[in-house]
Chains A and B, each alone.
Chain A
């Protein structure tokens, strides 16, 4: 089955700096890669996603890049703010008509220091 590895497990950045989280996946058939933010006491919230037919996607301060050949994808957060502090998860899935199981990475705890 699919396996998703995520690095680093913790990341501390100064407010205003950039943060980068990297993930690798094992199943070349995976074609959808969402990123989730989880705050304390809450469920994961989708912040951005990318499909395998796209190499990069941006949404304000957040961007995701995908390298299908290397089976890598990364989350980039620019101009970090204290409210960006949370645990971030990458995930991978095969889009198909029946079933849409997500395989998650182990998570990255991001701390933005003011």
Chain B
């Protein structure tokens, strides 16, 4: 049973560029949450998607946007990249009916902005 899969694993982008990160949830899960983890810090909640809609959002600017597809997979898009966007981006999936139990994280995408 595959867990949460994220791609790519590593990415280097230039300031001002745009990036798209991808996440496939664990089999049977229908909710996807995205977190940003800066070096040496705890993960910070970006947003959560359920039924193809953004259900909750953290304190991140509109440059951060997302999408969820009918197969429950999700994308995180970041526009106009800043050096401060360099971080590990984590995707977590869960089952909405489980009210958040069974939250499973992927291994993340390491984004470096130069």
Contact = CB atoms under 8 A, between A and B. Distances in A.
A107 B41 contact: yes
B107 A104 contact: no
A28 B92 CA distance: 25
A41 to B, nearest CB: 7
A90 B107 CA distance: 18
A100 B92 CA distance: 11
Contact of B103 (A89, A102, A103): A102
B58 A101 contact: yes
Interface stretch (B14-22, B43-51, B61-69, B73-81): B43-51
A96 interface: yes
B42 interface: yes
Interface stretch (A42-50, A53-61, A63-71): A42-50
Interface residues of B, number: 25
Which of B4, B31, B55, B100 has most A Cβ within 10 Å?
Answer: B100
Interface in B74-104: 90, 92, 94, 99-100, 103-104
Given A102-B45, A106-B42, A43 B100 contact: no
Nearest to B42: A104
A29 B100 CA distance: 16
